[in-house]
Amino acid sequence: MTLGQPIMHSSKATDEWWRGAVIYQIYPRSFQDSDDNGIGDLRGIVCRLPYVALLGVDAVWISPFFTSPMKDYGYDVANYTDVDPMFGTLADFDAVVEAAHALGLKVMIDLVLSHSSDKHPWFRESHRSRDNPRANWYVWADAKPDGTPPNNWLSIFGGSAWHWDARRCQYYLHNFLASQPDLNFHEPAVQDALLDVARFWLERGVDGFRLDTINFYTHDARLRDNPALAPEARNDSIAPAVNPYNHQDHLYDKNQPETVGFLRRLRAVMQPYNAAALGEVGDAQRGLEILGQYTAGNDLMQMCYAFEFLSHDRPDAAHVAEVMTRLDQVASDGWACWAFSNHDVERHASRWALSDAAIRTMATLIMCLRGSVCIYQGEELGLGEAEIAREDLHDPYGIEFWPEFKGRDGCRTPMVWENSNQSGGFSLGKPWLPVASEHLGLNVAGQEADEGSILSHYRHAIAFRKAHSVLRNGEHGGVRTENGIVWFIRGQGAGAVFCAFNLSEGDAQMDSPQGKWQPVGGELGAVAPGAGGVLKLKQWQVCLLVKAL
């Protein structure tokens, strides 16, 4: 076989900072504790930002730090415009922004707009009566004649998505915990209030938002039942296999067309600040399609991520090619952001049972894909999932489905900075979650002293992406596979980068690309083609070539 010219897929010519950016996710409870109470905080983030900047990333995404009863650990917001005392104060947040900007980092914060806490003043007023000023700010519905919920919608956290409120004698919708009532986006005043929240943080200097559960914003106003989903169509990328949530095709409880109108309004608010949004698309059947819908054109969201690479099955060459090809088909005018790990899924080192060599290869791969990239704190250390005992569990999701699904605490344990104590330098107090003993030996200080460490590899991979601008925002050739190797060409002409990754279970080979190419990426372990125009790669080996004049 001789490699021909790939079909080029052009990126928009733009200077937007977010396009192709590498974003580092910080889970504040577990990043750094500055007052030794066992819980990470904003001041802790400030003191560790130089480390983040040294990784070479462009931005940080900080998970929720707002006032909250912490039933879902910050994703149940009781005050959208203040900091929970456990994390600090608004002044501490301002210090985060100032320190980040001084280091050249953008700051993105996690906005949870689809639902609030039931302790939020909006809900406290809404549930008092059916005729108060905020009576329609949440999704209320009468019971069926037999007293059962209005329809068959299910909560991701288990059971019905409807909870009975004795004061109003109505059900309210909660796609997550019963203490997380869904806001009613069909009510214009709700949209206005949430846009004011965005303005508040933009005025404080944030550069963008990660938008939690973006496709859950709007529900079907007619409250129609979701149809059943055929067993063969089910997958566990959004909810664990033991959760009956997977038994429905979620046509009506989310993914409604009216959401686009709100996103357009939000983009208009963000535009004067040159801010960017990253939407989380939680849908197991049509995530890429929704991604394309929400990022199309210049007046919606800049980026979204779906769960194709956050699922349990390790992506082989065919799967990577399938995802990227499908994205080209359904989101040709959109922009994806890729992640292998985050605060909601088992860490990918464990989820995919990766060796150190595999971790390095997957890190190089994600830095070469068309799109932006998110990396999750500790991923750059090669941390695997921590084993959490039942008595130490905090996550309500894990408590509900234990032991078949152990929840999200295993990926949320504290960051390990050094080997000075059993908390890995995270705190002098007892950490809110135990630090895994196997994590201690992977601490930052130890890896910084080792040029061959996984941390060093991540730094090199991010630097390689920055050194070759086509990897950040260049044209995208069709993604192809051969003999377990996934390969593609980013850009065209001088400076184009050929990327090939052996994701198979053994040795593999393919023909080298035509033309004059120079080997690069030696610091990433990349190998050059051999004699005769044949590229031979052992398992997890990589080839990176730059097109010469």
What would the 3-class secondary structure string for 310-350 be? Answer: CCCCCCCHHHHHHHHHHHHHHCCCCCEEECCCCCCCCCHHH
- Per-residue model confidence (pLDDT) at position 12: 40
- Give the pLDDT mean for 222-226: 98
- Give the pLDDT mean for 173-177: 98
Which of 546, 523, 524, 525 has the alpha carbon at shortest distance from 468? 546
Residues 6+ apart with CB under 8 A from 147: none
Give yes or no for a contact between 543 and 364, defined as CB atoms under 8 angstroms apart: no
**Does the annotation mark 482 as catalytic?**
no
Cα(89)–Cα(86) distance, rounded to whole angstroms? Answer: 9
pLDDT in tens, 441-481: 999 999 999 999 999 999 999 999 999 999 999 888 899 99
- Per-residue model confidence (pLDDT) at position 11: 40
pLDDT above 60 (res 5): no
Cα(191)–Cα(184) distance, rounded to whole angstroms? Answer: 9
Q: Which CATH class is domain 19-114+188-219+254-464?
A: alpha beta
What does 42-102 look like in DSSP terms, one character per residue? HHHHHHHHHHHHHHT-SEEEE---EE---SSTTSS-SEEEEE-TTT--HHHHHHHHHHHHH
Give Cα separations from 277 to 61, 339, 367, 398 (angstroms): 11, 16, 20, 29
Cα(8)–Cα(491) distance, rounded to whole angstroms? Answer: 8
- Give the pLDDT mean for 183-203: 98
pLDDT above 60 (res 114): yes
Cα(212)–Cα(218) distance, rounded to whole angstroms? Answer: 13
- Give the pLDDT mean for 387-416: 94
pLDDT in tens, 517-544: 999 999 999 999 998 889 999 999 999 9
Give Cα separations from 485 to 182, 275, 365, 518, 531 (angstroms): 45, 38, 12, 20, 19
Cα(135)–Cα(453) distance, rounded to whole angstroms? Answer: 56
3-state secondary structure at position 275: coil
**Does the annotation mark 409 as catalytic?**
no
Which of 304, 219, 288, 291 has the alpha carbon at shortest distance from 255? 219
- Give the pLDDT mean for 265-272: 98
Per the prediction, the chain carries an average pLDDT of: 95
Give Cα separations from 50 to 53, 196, 272, 330, 392 (angstroms): 5, 32, 29, 39, 32
- Give the pLDDT mean for 491-512: 95
Cα(39)–Cα(48) distance, rounded to whole angstroms? Answer: 15
- Give the pLDDT mean for 161-179: 98
Percent helix, strand and coil across the chain, each to the nearest 5: 30, 20, 50
Give Cα separations from 383 to 45, 352, 416, 438 (angstroms): 19, 12, 9, 9
Strand arrangement of the beta sheet that strand 337-338 belongs to:
303-305, 276-280, 208-211, 106-111, 59-62, 22-26, 372-376, 337-338
pLDDT in tens, 46-85: 999 999 999 999 999 999 999 999 999 999 999 999 999 9
Paired with 547 in beta bridges are 517
Annotated catalytic residue: which of 76, 220, 280, 409?
A: 280
Global pTM exceeds 0.85? yes
Share of the chain above pLDDT 70, in %: 97
Annotated catalytic residue: which of 76, 84, 92, 212?
A: 212
- Give the pLDDT mean for 104-132: 98
Give yes or no for a contact between 426 and 40, defined as CB atoms under 8 angstroms apart: yes
Query: What sections of 80-172 are H helices per DSSP?
Result: 90-102, 121-126
- Per-residue model confidence (pLDDT) at position 549: 78
The token pair at 299 is 């007046």
pLDDT above 80 (res 174): yes
The token pair at 80 is 């959208």
- Per-residue model confidence (pLDDT) at position 533: 87
The token pair at 316 is 């082989």
Share of the chain above pLDDT 90, in %: 93
Which of 182, 193, 216, 198 has the alpha carbon at shortest distance from 76? 182
DSSP state of 397: H
3-state secondary structure at position 382: coil
CB atoms closer than 10 angstroms to residue 320: 20
pLDDT above 80 (res 4): no
pLDDT above 90 (res 314): yes
pLDDT above 50 (res 20): yes
- pLDDT band at residue 10 using 50, 70 and 90 as cut-offs: very low
| Torsion over CA: 450, 454, 458, 460 (sign) | positive
